[in-house]
């Protein structure tokens, strides 16, 4: 494909800065960020509240733009993409999962999962088949016709994950996906992320909980808008 480099990292961030305009002037939320994420990685983004994690995720997801620096996604410079090209890249390459699930309450679970496909002109039959398959994959096979308010928070997050996967993205971004869930349910959701990663999806997940981050293979820590550490997750094996 023109413009796509073979073996390029899925994500390459170079000297990226992001400042917000506030009444008190420019506020630097991200400072001189450099980061590569290779295909198939499972990365946890950590750091205290206000350290820039969500700002960073929004840029990764092409929901916001850096103030300076470069973001290469799949070997392509995001800043050079326009309108439809950017929308296509965002819709086809990236799946999002948020803390608050963000399901449409008046739609069945099946329709919630299928929703992103409607904008892609996928035929109704194919759309339903894919949504059914994904609901089965996340353990909600018999819930296709249920409404979101009839299921638990953990189940709602599973539906949100199914929806994020419906366009078969290579990259899954999740901003504190277990932030509203109890620890047992969080473990189940992390098990699902682990399974998806083993199937080849690259995952970048924000959490401020060490137990959750342990499921990732690499932990990148933000503090005050900068990356202050980047290391492999220590082995979970402990001496008996
Ligand atoms: N839209 C915005 N306008 C101004 N400041 C913002 C905006 N969004 C975030 N910030 C500020 O940027 C910093 C980083 O925020 P955020 O990325 O949400 O951090 P985190 O997700 O790590 O809690 C915080 O100080 C926050 O107040
Ligand atoms: Mg945040």
The 10s digit of each residue's pLDDT in 111-170 is: 999 998 887 778 889 999 999 999 999 999 999 999 999 999 999 999 999 999 999 999
Angle, helices 183-198 vs 153-165, to 10°: value is: 20
Closest protein CA for atom 26 of ligand 1: 50
Q: How far is the CA of 181 from the centre of ligand 2 (A)?
A: 16
Rounded distance between C-alpha atoms, residue 92 and residue 143, angstroms: 26
Q: How far is the CA of 175 from the centre of ligand 2 (A)?
A: 7
The region of weakest confidence among 85-89, 101-105, 108-112 is 85-89
Burial of residue 164 (CB within 10 Å: 0-12, 13-18, 19+) is: buried
Relative to beta strand 218-223, strand 68-73 is unpaired
Q: How far is the CA of 48 from the centre of ligand 1 (A)?
A: 11
**Residue 117, pLDDT score:** 87
| Domain residue ranges in the chain | 11-103+170-232
**What fold is seen in the domain 11-103+170-232?**
Rossmann fold (3.40.50)
List, in sequence order, every beta strand (DSSP E) within 38-184: 42-46, 68-73, 76-77, 94-98, 171-175
pLDDT range class, residue 88, cuts 50, 70, 90: confident
Q: For residue 152, give the 3-state DSSP assignment.
A: coil
**Residue 122, pLDDT score:** 84
Closest protein CA for atom 9 of ligand 1: 55
CB 18 within 8 A of CB 30: yes
Share of the chain above pLDDT 90, in %: 82
């Amino acid at each position: 494909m023109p413009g796509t480099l073979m073996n390029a990292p899925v994500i390459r961030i170079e000297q990226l800065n992001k400042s917000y305009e506030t009444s008190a002037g420019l506020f630097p939320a991200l400072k001189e960020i450099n980061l590569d994420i290779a295909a198939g990685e499972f990365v946890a983004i950590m750091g205290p509240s206000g350290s820039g994690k969500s700002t960073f995720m929004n840029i990764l997801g092409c929901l916001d733009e850096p103030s300076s620096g470069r973001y290469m996604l799949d070997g392509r410079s995001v800043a050079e993409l326009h309108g439809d090209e950017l929308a296509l890249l965002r819709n086809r390459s990236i799946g999002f999962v948020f803390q608050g699930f963000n399901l449409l309450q008046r739609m069945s679970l099946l329709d919630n999962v299928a929703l992103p496909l409607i904008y892609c002109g996928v035929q109704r039959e194919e759309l339903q088949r894919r949504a059914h398959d994904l609901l089965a994959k996340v353990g909600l096979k018999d819930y296709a016709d249920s409404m979101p308010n009839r299921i638990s928070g953990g189940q709602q997050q599973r539906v949100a994950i199914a929806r994020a996967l419906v366009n078969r993205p290579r990259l899954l971004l999740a901003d504190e996906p277990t932030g509203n869930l109890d620890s047992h349910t969080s473990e189940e959701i992390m098990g699902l992320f682990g399974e998806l990663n083993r199937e080849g999806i690259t995952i970048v997940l924000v959490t401020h909980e060490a137990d959750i981050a342990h499921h990732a293979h690499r932990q990148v820590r933000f503090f005050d808008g900068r990356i202050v550490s980047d290391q492999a997750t220590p082995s979970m094996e402990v001496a008996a």
